[in-house]
Structure 1
Amino acid sequence: MKVSSRPVVYLLHGDDEHAMQRFVQRMEEKLGDPATAQLNLTVLERENFSLGALASAAQAMPFLAERRLVVVHDPLAALASSQQREKFTALLENLPESTALVLLIHQRLQPSHWLLRWAATQGERVFIRALNRPQGAQLTAWIRAQAAERDGAITPTAAQLLAEAVGADPHQLIQEVEKLLAYVNYARPIDEEDVMLLVSGRVEGDIFALVDAVGNQNARQALKRLRVMLELEHPLRIFAMIIRQFRLLLLTRELMDNGATADEIAAALKVQPFLAPRLIAQARRYTLASLEHIYRRLAEIDAAIKSGQVEAEVALETLVAALTA
């Protein structure tokens, strides 16, 4: 193994596409001016990857620059046999220091994976980093960091609401953060009202906020949330979302009482992993019996709405008032 003062191979694995793109962009910037950079950059996509193509690109000398950058996307499918893997790792071990080879593996690799095991034997010659999408509190902190990088700010509660509305998609989150910063003209932090007003999918996020207010017996806040939602969506859709939320809480409470973990609850309910801790926190505010009672009450209201006995909007306001009384 050759001794190197800096990495020659950069092995990135995980599901955070945005972080991978940022990493590659920073590597490209180190190549110098854009014209020279393009002459020293080769990208091999999964469909055109081969050992021959990699050898040709990675062993070439840089042109008017210190290093060449070779970016390879998902080469693992072409390395199914042990013989192919041995040729691949031998090639990597003999790359010149004038090459920076970035391997982008768009999936999470377990520590036992053959590529990680090989990389661990290469010392400083191989740079290894897992890049996975942030979840839960990490996602909220990530959103706040993105706002700060753009010379803006977002309150913690607004960041949490944005995460609930959009999910863990970094590209969409950045678009929403930039839109919200432009809306507040970078003059003040983005707050919850801004998110509720502007962000696509905000009604889904507001369901959590509404149920939080109900669980805290905060009638004023719960009715405020409901009225904002009614301005954005049809009452019947909101009612359907409330039914779904309390069904999830009922199932979460049952699973919690049986000792299930957050990961097990997310898998059983088929929801995103970052939502499970929030469901658990809400379910703790209720007993199983109280959730069963609420769910029966929702079924009765559903029947009354469908039979024309009550308007959906009136039924929703009456329900929220009753649950927070």
Structure 2
Amino acid sequence: MIRVIHGDDEFSISNALESRLNSLGPLDLRAPNVTTFEAPNVPMAEVFAAARISPFLADRRAIVVKGMLKPLDTRGDKVRPDWEKFGDRISDEAMQITNELIFVETVPLRMNAKSLKTLAALAEVEEHRVPNRRERMDWLRRRFEFHGVDASASAIGRFDAIGGDDTRRLDSEIQKLEIYANGKRLQPSDVDLMVADVSEDRIFNVMDAIIEGKHRQAIGGVQNLVANGESIEGIFALLTRQVRQLIVAAHMLERGSRNPEVGQRLRINLPWLVDKTCRQALSVGSARLKAMHLQMLEIDEGVKTGRVDRRLAIEMLVSALAVR
């Protein structure tokens, strides 16, 4: 059996591979029957030799080969000389392989590429792509069901809105919600309490870059927010709210308040978010934060009066704020 597992969804690829290896049996029997080769220095002859070794106290072995097919996809990566004839060799070897030979790639492969066509005809091919916006709700429903989490449709919708597109992170957050729910049905308020909004997290990254005077990184962060569907108005609102929260936090901290008191005043429930807010506030200080807020008001007025383009305004704002 030859199998190809590829795509850009590293989390799903990892799960698919784990599922195949689990099918070999208990861990104590599986361990001696799994051989893994990782690019770039994998002799092709060793791979095929391993695929013919008899299993130990099991009905088959698994040979996992990671990263060796991407160069064959004609994308410019250097191909090991002994792999240049892979297309011809796999055809000869296929009938002699008595175990499970699994090729794993964390990039989408073009299986119709000349050097991979023969493999595509001989193998079972699984492609795992990160779900797009339309697909993500169905993906989330399946993961909630997989983890046994009872969530209302509106709760899953809220999770979709704030969770981002990193499938591994999404699954981790669902597991966290499972522990929190303890059998009860989740509602949107539960999601808001337990899951950090990735837009807010990205705004923190933009603020970090602004505070450190990293213009290019700050602008890149804004462009990333836009690419992920955040509106210019939404970004401006997030930045404004963040600066206002930092002003309050800096004022309290400079007068001796502790982090939990700041979190309570700002109504932030997540301890790590409170700590990050306090660190940023102390790093900038009240004086600079107030100056930032005045710059925001000036640029906001320019947008509202039509003197400044909205997209240009947000980049002007970030550049102005990043001046130390």
The alignment's TM-score, normalised by the length of structure 2, stands at 0.58
CA distance in 2, matches of 1:164, 1:89: 48
DSSP-derived class of the 1:94 partner: helix
Which residue is equivalent to 1:139? 136
CA distance in 2, matches of 1:84, 1:60: 21
Q: State which of 16, 19, 38 in structure 1 corresponds to 2:31.
A: 38
Query: Structure 1 residue 14: deviation in Å?
Result: 0.6
Distance 1:53 1:166, change over 3 A: farther
DSSP-derived class of the 1:119 partner: helix
Query: Structure 1 residue 51: deviation in Å?
Result: 0.9
Q: State which of 9, 12, 17 in structure 1 corresponds to 2:5.
A: 12
Q: Is the CA contact (8 Å cut-off) linking 2:21 and 2:30 kept in structure 1?
A: yes
**Any unmatched runs of 5+ in structure 1?**
1-7, 208-232, 241-268, 284-290, 320-325
Query: Structure 1 residue 155: deviation in Å?
Result: 3.2
CA distance in 1, matches of 2:202, 2:104: 36
How many residues are matched? 230
Distance 1:48 1:181, change over 3 A: same
**Any unmatched runs of 5+ in structure 2?**
73-78, 211-222, 245-289, 305-324
Q: Is the CA contact (8 Å cut-off) linking 2:6 and 2:104 kept in structure 1?
A: yes
Which residue is equivalent to 2:190? 194
Q: Among all aligned residue pairs of Structure 1 and Structure 2, give the percentage whose two residues are the same amino acid.
A: 21
> Which aligned segments of 4 or more residues in structure 1 are displaced greater than 6 angstroms?
none
Verify: 1:173 aligned to 2:166, yes or no. Answer: no
Query: Structure 1 residue 157: deviation in Å?
Result: 3.6
Query: Structure 1 residue 171: deviation in Å?
Result: 1.6
DSSP-derived class of the 1:159 partner: helix
DSSP-derived class of the 2:47 partner: helix
CA distance in 2, matches of 1:139, 1:187: 24
DSSP-derived class of the 1:196 partner: helix
Cα offsets for 1:142-165 (capped at 9, x unmatched): 112111111113334433433343
Verify: 1:74 aligned to 2:70, yes or no. Answer: no
Distance 1:50 1:72, change over 3 A: same
CA RMSD of aligned residues (A): 4.2
Q: Is the CA contact (8 Å cut-off) linking 1:49 and 1:78 kept in structure 2?
A: no
- Written as runs of structure 1 = structure 2, the 5 A alignment for 1:200-239 is 200-201=196-197, 204=200
Cα offsets for 1:72-115 (capped at 9, x unmatched): 11103665278733246514642435211111111112354235
Which residue is equivalent to 2:146? 149
Q: Is the CA contact (8 Å cut-off) linking 1:13 and 1:130 kept in structure 2?
A: yes
- Written as runs of structure 1 = structure 2, the 5 A alignment for 1:1-325 is 8-76=1-69, 80=79, 84-87=83-86, 89-91=88-90, 93-95=92-94, 96-120=96-120, 122=121, 125-189=122-186, 191-201=187-197, 204=200, 270=224, 275=228, 306=291
User: Residue type matched to 2:109 in 1?
Assistant: L
User: Residue type matched to 1:36 in 2?
Assistant: L
Q: Is the CA contact (8 Å cut-off) linking 1:74 and 1:105 kept in structure 2?
A: yes
Cα offsets for 1:200-257 (capped at 9, x unmatched): 33563999xxxxxxxxxxxxxxxxxxxxxxxxx9xxx7xx9xxxxxxxxxxxxxxxxx
CA distance in 2, matches of 1:182, 1:63: 39
Cα offsets for 1:115-174 (capped at 9, x unmatched): 542234x3xx41012111112121122112111111113334433433343322122111
